A and B are shown apart, each in its own frame.
Chain A
Amino acid sequence: MIEGPLIHCEIGSFLDVARTVTENCRESGFWRVLENLTAVAFGTALGFFANKMHDKKRSQIAAARSALEVLNKLERECYEYWSKDYDPADSLLCESSIKATQQQIRIYIMRGDLGLSKSEKQKLTELLSDLYDDSMGGEFESRQRTASRKRIGNIADKVARISAILTEKTFG
Chain B
Amino acid sequence: MIKRQSLNIGQEFSDHPIGRYRSDGPSSGEVFCEDFLVPRLQKLGDDEKLEVVLDDGVDGFGSSFLDEAFAGVVKKGFMSSEELLSHLTFRYENPDFEFFRDKIREYVREAKFNSAGQR
Contacts and interface: CB of A to CB of B under 8 A. Distances in A.
A142 B20 contact: yes
A119 interface: no
Given A95-B18, A99-B59, A103-B96, A140 B103 contact: no
Given A103-B96, A106-B96, A107-B96, A142 B63 contact: no
A141 B103 contact: no
Interface in B23-70: 23-24, 59-60, 62-65, 67
Contact of B23 (A99, A132, A143): A143
Interface string A143-154: 110000000000
B14 to A, nearest CB: 12
A103 to B, nearest CB: 6
Contact-residue bracket for chain B? 10 to 19
Given A103-B96, A129-B103, A141 B64 contact: yes
A47 interface: no
Contacts, number: 56
A144 B67 contact: no
A138 B119 CA distance: 10
Contact of A136 (B23, B24, B64, B102): B64
Interface residues of A, number: 20
B60 A103 contact: yes
Contacts of A143: 19, 21, 23-24
A132 B67 CA distance: 12
B23 A137 contact: no
Interface of A: 95, 99-100, 102-103, 106-107, 129, 132-133, 135-144
Contact of A139 (B59, B64, B96, B106): B64
B99 A141 contact: no
Contacts of A138: 64
A81 to B, nearest CB: 12
A141 B65 contact: yes
B21 A106 contact: no
B65 to A, nearest CB: 7
Closest 6 CB pairs of A and B: A137-B63, A136-B63, A140-B64, A136-B62, A141-B19, A142-B20
Contacts of B62: 95, 99, 136-137, 140-141
Contacts of A102: 60
Contacts of A137: 62-64, 67
Contacts of B20: 139-142
A144 B63 contact: no
